Structure 1
Amino acid sequence: MIKTGTPYLYFYDECNEALNYYADIFGAEILEKLTFEDVEYMEDESRKNCIAHASFKLGESVILANDFLEKQSKEKGSAKSQASIWLELEKVADITILEEKMLASGSKSIIKLEETFWDSLYAKIEDKFGIIWELNAQK
């Protein structure tokens, strides 16, 4: 049977920027980061610094990420949003701070912070890389 599930995020040559953004916004700990050059995958010299594999930690969760191996553009991608990640926050006050920080950095609100029928505060935000973050804090 299934032992665990791990989100894997794909980017359009913006993975390194996204990792730095998540470290800044969420306090993510970057565990591993290998470039195409590091793994000797050099189909295009201009992409040598793109990320072939990375992992980062949010709370107790580990998330994997990389840039698409083949050169792709956002316009030709199959979907604008590549993933949605649910973050359960420890305190109600944390969600307000995180929402403000994300919106100030250029992310856009999909669902503004609101009280929910499941007795939480909740917000849904898309970051500038197309990743959707669902922020939840139980009251």
Structure 2
Amino acid sequence: MTMQFSPNISFPGNATEALRFYHEVFGGELDIMTYDDMPDMELPFEPPAGAVAHATLSSGTVYLAGGDAMGPDAPDLTSDVYSFLLQFDKVAEARDYIVRLTAGGGKVTMAFEKAPWGDYYGQVTDQFGVVWMFNAADD
């Protein structure tokens, strides 16, 4: 059996912008399907023009899926109850991705520095409210 764990994010109407930004950060292949691209079918909601039904970003090391949340109560992504952990072999590589994720308007919420367990660790909240944790072996 082959299995892969892939986070899926329901964005509050800005999935295209967010996923294009992640594509710039992580590279790889980005596929976006809007509701406009789908065949006619009955849906329990009326999607706005251009709303993302399903998108995937696959870069080899990162696989992320997402779309636009539907309805008047779209979620706020900023939360302390989830985050995505990126693990690196080299501190410099982690620092590079921290720069990439903050370049779009994100902020470092925990400085990337030596942690009690011996690795380097830090956190970034990107401009969309997604929390990214960074862990790198001390090189």
Normalized against structure 1, the TM-score is what? 0.80
CA contact (8 A) 2:77 2:130 kept: no
What is the RMSD computed on CA atoms of the aligned residues? 2.6
Name the residue aligned to 1:5: 5
Are the equivalent residues in 2 in contact too, given 1:52–1:69 (CA < 8 A)? no
Q: How does 1:69-108 map to 2 (within 5 A)?
A: 69-73=70-74, 77=75, 80-81=78-79, 83-108=82-107
- What is the match of residue 63 of structure 1? 64
Contact 2:12 2:76 survives alignment (8 Å): no
Q: How does 1:1-139 map to 2 (within 5 A)?
A: 3-30=3-30, 32-39=31-38, 40=40, 43-44=46-47, 47-73=48-74, 77=75, 80-81=78-79, 83-139=82-138
- CA pair 87-59 structure 1, distance change in 2 beyond 3 A: farther
Unaligned runs of 5+ in 2: none
* Paired amino acid for 1:130: G
Structure 1, unpaired ranges of 5+: none
Q: 1:102 & 1:61 partners in 2: Cα distance?
A: 14
Is the Cα–Cα contact under 8 Å of residues 26 and 62 in structure 2 kept in the other structure? no
Structure with more of its chain in strand, by fraction: 1
- In 2, the alpha carbon distance for the partners of 1:78 and 1:69 equals 13
* SS of aligned partner of 1:37: helix
- Cα pair distance change 1:14/1:54, threshold 3 Å: same
Change (3 A) 1:79 1:29: closer
